[in-house]
Amino acid sequence: MALTRRSHYLAAVLACGTDALLSHRTAGVLWGLLQTCTQIEVTAPRGRKQRPGITVHRSRLIHLDDRALVDAIPVTSVARTLVDLADVLTERRLADAVHRAEILRLFDLTALEQARDHVPGRAGRHRLRRVLASYQPRDENALQQRFLDFCAAHHLPTPQTQTQVGPYTIDFLWPEAGLAVETDGAGTHHTRRAFYADRKRDRALAAAGIQVIRVTWPDFEEPDVLHTELAAILARPG
């Protein structure tokens, strides 16, 4: 009988000895964070030899919290897997993996930060920090002030603030253009309940002739794009 892919994974971990864990891209596939990988990767304590057909990553310390089991296969935790992936993936692919973890309800920012602290000095630490920036809780008032400063710096018309439209309070409104901007901080909008509430609100405002644009902290990393989009809408004939 031919061995399944997961049987190969388990065999690879066992071949690398006690305390070895499936890791990196292979762990990403096992957790569902990546679709495919072309090699089997294992993390093992220092001193373990390379094995034919297996890429062995040696680690001085494998913290207890970095260990997990999936279908009886010892594997790095989701958090440690994402830390490891930061070393071997492009920033875009890493962001996709983090997003996938969120969709699968496996994302835990606190656990990820702890896993990162278990292995300081890693090559991908700056890449991981940039990807996680949008998941950091930030002050909603600071985000709103940042948007007002952005409008002033880019010579956009000053919007009305905290305007009541029916049952909804809109962060920023240009009534003549039928444009509303809602500033979304991660702390208040990264829940399933908030997601559906936001969409219901957007539909109701669209029915009232108001287009809603949602602005988050990462949008300010591409200010020209944000400015072009807002300016185009504001320039449309009423």
Rounded-to-5 percentages of helix, strand, coil across the chain: 50, 20, 30
112 HSE (CA, 13 A, CB side): 23
User: Average pLDDT, stretch 88-101?
Assistant: 95
The pLDDT tens digits of the residues spanning 167-181 come to 999 999 999 999 999
Which has the higher per-residue pLDDT, 215 or 191?
215
pLDDT over threshold 60, residue 208:
yes
Q: Tell me: do 29 and 104 sit in the same domain.
A: yes
Q: Tell me: do 113 and 153 sit in the same domain.
A: no
Q: What is the pLDDT of residue 185?
A: 64
Q: Tell me: do 149 and 128 sit in the same domain.
A: no
Q: What is the pLDDT of residue 27?
A: 98
User: Average pLDDT, stretch 28-49?
Assistant: 92
Q: Tell me: do 16 and 119 sit in the same domain.
A: yes
Q: Show which of 135, 168, 193 is a domain's final residue.
A: 135
The pLDDT tens digits of the residues spanning 141-154 come to 888 999 999 999 99
What is the CATH number for 204?
A: 3.40.960.10
Alpha-carbon span 4 to 88, nearest angstrom: 25
Q: Tell me: do 19 and 131 sit in the same domain.
A: yes
Average pLDDT for the chain: 90
Q: Show which of 71, 100, 135 is a domain's final residue.
A: 135
Q: What is the pLDDT of residue 238?
A: 63
Q: Tell me: do 109 and 159 sit in the same domain.
A: no
User: Average pLDDT, stretch 88-113?
Assistant: 93
Q: Show which of 104, 135, 166 is a domain's final residue.
A: 135
Q: Tell me: do 118 and 148 sit in the same domain.
A: no
Q: Look up the domain containing 193 and give its range.
A: 140-234
Q: Provide the pLDDT confidence category of residue 213 given band limits of 50, 70 and 90.
A: very high
The reported pTM is: 0.65
Q: What is the pLDDT of residue 138?
A: 66
Largest CA distance in the chain: 71
Q: What is the pLDDT of residue 1?
A: 44
User: Average pLDDT, stretch 85-89?
Assistant: 96
Give the angle 153-158-164 at the CA atoms, nearest 5°: 140
Phi-psi label, residue 168: left if phi above 0, alpha if psi -120 to 50, beta otherwise: beta
Domains: count for the chain: 2
